[in-house]
């Protein structure tokens, strides 16, 4: 952790901002980047299968309108991405206020 602390101290002095401001800004930007990536991947799945919810994708699997493989795996990824998006958004909301 010392290397991280040294880095934060060095950069904060160089930029003329407090270490707390630097770290808080870094965390916000990290979360925003992760949120954009999760939303982009979610959009890719929705576009690929022409669905708006995991339930719609499951329905297409059950009806046989899409191949089971790899759609089952994509469904799991889709559900996990939506959970991740919610979690990241909650964290951002708490930080931003």
| pLDDT tens per residue across span 30-54 | 999 999 999 999 999 999 999 999 9
Model pLDDT, residue 65: 97
- pTM, two decimals, is 0.87
In this prediction, residue 96 has a pLDDT band, given cuts at 50, 70 and 90, of confident
* Rounded (5°) CA angle 81-70-84: 5
78-93 residue pLDDT tens: 999 999 999 999 999 9
Model pLDDT, residue 1: 67
d(CA 18, CA 31): 20
């Amino acid at each position: 952790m010392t290397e991280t602390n040294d880095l934060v101290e060095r950069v904060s002095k160089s930029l003329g901002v407090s270490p707390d401001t630097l770290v808080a800004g870094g965390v916000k930007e990290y979360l925003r980047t992760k949120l954009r990536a999760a939303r982009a991947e979610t959009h890719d799945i929705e576009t690929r299968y022409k669905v708006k919810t995991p339930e719609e994708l499951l329905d297409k699997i059950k009806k046989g309108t899409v191949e089971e493989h790899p759609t089952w795996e994509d469904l799991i990824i889709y559900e996990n991405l939506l959970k991740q998006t919610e979690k990241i958004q909650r964290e951002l909301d708490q930080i931003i206020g």
